[in-house]
Amino acid sequence: MPMSQDRLSLEEETIRICQELIRIPSVNYGEGKGDERAIAAYVVDSLAEVGITATTYESAPNRVNVVAKIKGSDSLRPGLVVHGHIDVVPAEAKDWSVDPFSGEIKDGFIWGRGAVDMKNVDAMILAIVRKWAREGYVPPRDIVLAFFADEEAGSEYGSRYMTANHPDVFEGCSEAVSEVGGFSIALKNGKRMYIIETAQKGIHWFKLTAKGTAGHGSMINKDNALTALGEAVAKLGNHVWPQRYTATVKSLFANVAKLTGNKYDESDFRPLLEEFGPAAKMFGATLQNTANPTILSSGYKANVIPQTASAVVDGRFLPGYEDEFNQTIREIVGPDIEIETLTRDISLEADFSGDLVEAMVQALMAEDPDAIAVPYMMSGGTDNKALSELGIIGYGFGPLKLPPGLDFFSLFHGVDERVPIDGLRSGVHMMERFLKNC
């Protein structure tokens, strides 16, 4: 059956917008160093071109958020927040096969920083609402479009700023959808699962500091801060965390066992991880708490024993297990190491049920009859965390039909980040179907 011009036009506009977004280097370096002004202006202009008025919210110089509201046919229903972030992590051009801000099309992919995280979904959202505006289409419920700054560095200037200072923007909204969910993963037997994010691990980034006695590097020193810190970091990095399975994880692995004919054993899901192929690393991280040392800092000269030494640790805890996580960290590092919280954010877990979830499932199956929709927990976090504090339940749904064998999770923040064009083509129709029936 030939493709309708209407479908093709939506796909081509999505591809074009994705390329144009990538070409705007909205890099977030962390520690407040980011600049979303140019890309926010692009979003505002793109919406204005079809008659949609957007408002910008500047949380700090050059840190800009964009919000637009689309009236639905039934404003008595609670509204839906459809949100994306417009910042990206840095990219070292020398490490890439292409210019990371070129938006180049090569080998059936759009390449560039943000192609996966998450300018592909931003492009879908913009293309869909632009199409609706041209057609005069009215969605079934009110929609708040939000394009946040600073998601890649804790959201202080983005969703956290908005929910703290402009909560009225989201008044009347009950649910939200955003990134890192809705895309397909091929199991080893070829079955195609679409994973919808219904849960997220919590975040606890912390700094460990050991104090000792400074001295000459040639002398015996039993109070060496660097030695004490090294021992604590090694213990922490090598700790074997107990398996802790939440409702979301149990549902996911029950589906995997059924689809693959494997045994479902709630005492240990790890044997099923191999069915996920390259994605096993991410799913394995949702079976337990994790604490990965990421930065070491100490000393200033080869022959000087430092007085202090510090390490930064990326900690992630499962929903319901934050207290156990913190207690375990203290027990591992011992009483003499100081623990300073750098960033802490909540975990999330929502039910895989209800009208919104059903709309997602039906949208996937309408475009891909072989789609098998399942819930999953994300090892990281999204702006849904901030919105949850306003009572808004969030899901990850940025649909893409991906080719088998693509290690999609590795492309988040990765070198040669890229999104398959065919995935965008299918995904934008899945997203539009969902938004028309949610």
d(CA 365, CA 429): 11
Tens of pLDDT, residue by residue over 375-396, are 999 998 999 999 999 999 999 9
For the cut 70, the answer to whether the pLDDT of residue 218 exceeds it is yes
Q: Which domains does the chain have, with CATH numbers?
A: 5-182+381-436 (3.40.630.10), 199-345 (3.30.70.360)
Q: Which of 126, 287, 139, 258 is nearest to 199 (CA)?
A: 287
- Please tell me whether the peptide bond between 378 and the residue prior to it is cis, using omega within 30 degrees of 0: no
Tens of pLDDT, residue by residue over 274-310, are 999 888 999 999 999 999 999 999 999 999 999 999 9
Global pTM reads 0.93
What is the average pLDDT across 361-376?
97
Whether 298 and 211 have beta carbons less than 8 Å apart is answered as no
Tens of pLDDT, residue by residue over 127-167, are 999 999 999 999 999 999 999 999 998 899 999 999 999 99
pLDDT band at 1 (very low <50, low <70, confident <90, very high): very low
For the cut 50, the answer to whether the pLDDT of residue 32 exceeds it is yes
pLDDT band at 2 (very low <50, low <70, confident <90, very high): low
| pLDDT number for residue 23 | 98
d(CA 116, CA 406): 13
pLDDT band at 405 (very low <50, low <70, confident <90, very high): confident
For the cut 70, the answer to whether the pLDDT of residue 212 exceeds it is yes
